[in-house]
Amino acid sequence: MTERLPPPPEHPRSVVYFGSPADAVPALVALVEAGFEVPLVITMPDRRRGRRAAPSPTPVKEAALELGIAVSDQISDALTVDADCGVVVAYGELIDTKVLSLLPMINVHFSLLPRWRGAAPVERALLAGDKKTGVCVMGLEPELDTGPLYRQCEMNINPTVTATELRAELASLGARELVAALRDGLRDPVTQEGEVSVAKKIHRADLKLDWTRAATELDRVVRVGGAWTFAGSTVLKVHETCPVEGTAIPGKLNGDLVGTGDGLLRLLIVQPEGKSRLKATAWINGARLGPDTQLGT
């Protein structure tokens, strides 16, 4: 049986903030601008962003230091300051149950729960072709994204939006909803209802373009970011595409058009292995590809 955790106070004024990526910065800034006290920020440790690069801080750490807020990468340090509750936005790690039992927390999640619980809700929503998404302000529980909802706000997904753009939209919406929830009062949360789906972490294999799939599906993979295919013996990254009508053998390249299982996919921006991004037409002209070029093989 799940341990019952203490609920957050109805009107918290002082919060410990947990967050790491750029998408978690707007909510931190919004809390400070709204007058909430943030005595401490907990974020992931500094890490190298490249092989030879020096360790660098998370975007949330950078923002916190600019705001004059103390920062730690130890979850247990949340218990060393005087705060009414914790606020979690894309922190990157589960919060220890012991800490949760002593410091009640709320979480801002970028989906319409219980759809897309887990690590990659934005990417999974795009890959699935969802028409809507949103943000939830919820109570935090030991189990992943199962807590009761204090506030939920829905938004449409633009059919051409990228995951980066959608995350930015949701980060802004989440910041607004978080402040509204704290100002209105954390009362009468409702249990999540509906079919549960899990947003598993995106791996490189998920981003390989399978040319037997429909062009619209492949375009979604591209908009998630990191899409790739084989062009001969080398890897070709695909950064921007557009589905168009037509038929061709899946993977067959004809100019900047590639055949798929349903429709054609126009290549717009690509990146050959070891080189910079460029227009697909420039790559095609420079690569001197033969008439029988087949991507993905």
User: Looking at residue 149, which CATH number applies to its domain?
Assistant: 3.40.50.170
Regarding whether 94 and 21 lie in a shared domain, the answer is yes
Looking at 171, 199, 227, which one is the last position of a domain?
A: 199
Instruction: Give how many domains the chain has, as a whole number.
Output: 2
Domain that holds residue 254: 204-287
Is there a domain that residue 6 lies in? no
How many contiguous H segments (helices) and E segments (strands) does the chain have? Answer: 7, 15
Structural domain includes residue 82: yes
Among the three residues 141, 171, 199, which one is the final residue of a domain in this structure? 199
CA distance 213 to 260: 6
Q: Provide CB contacts within 8 A for 196, sequence distance 6+.
A: 114, 115, 117
Two tokens, residue 217: 């599906």
Q: Please check whether residues 114 and 33 belong to one and the same domain.
A: yes
pTM of the predicted model, to two decimals?
0.94
Residue-by-residue pLDDT tens, the chain, 297 positions: 445 688 899 999 999 999 999 999 999 999 999 999 999 999 999 987 766 678 899 999 999 999 999 999 999 999 999 999 999 999 999 998 999 999 999 999 999 999 999 999 999 999 999 999 999 999 999 999 999 999 999 999 999 999 999 999 999 999 999 999 999 999 999 999 999 999 999 999 999 999 999 999 999 999 999 999 999 889 999 999 999 999 999 999 999 999 999 999 999 999 999 999 999 999 998 887 777 789 997
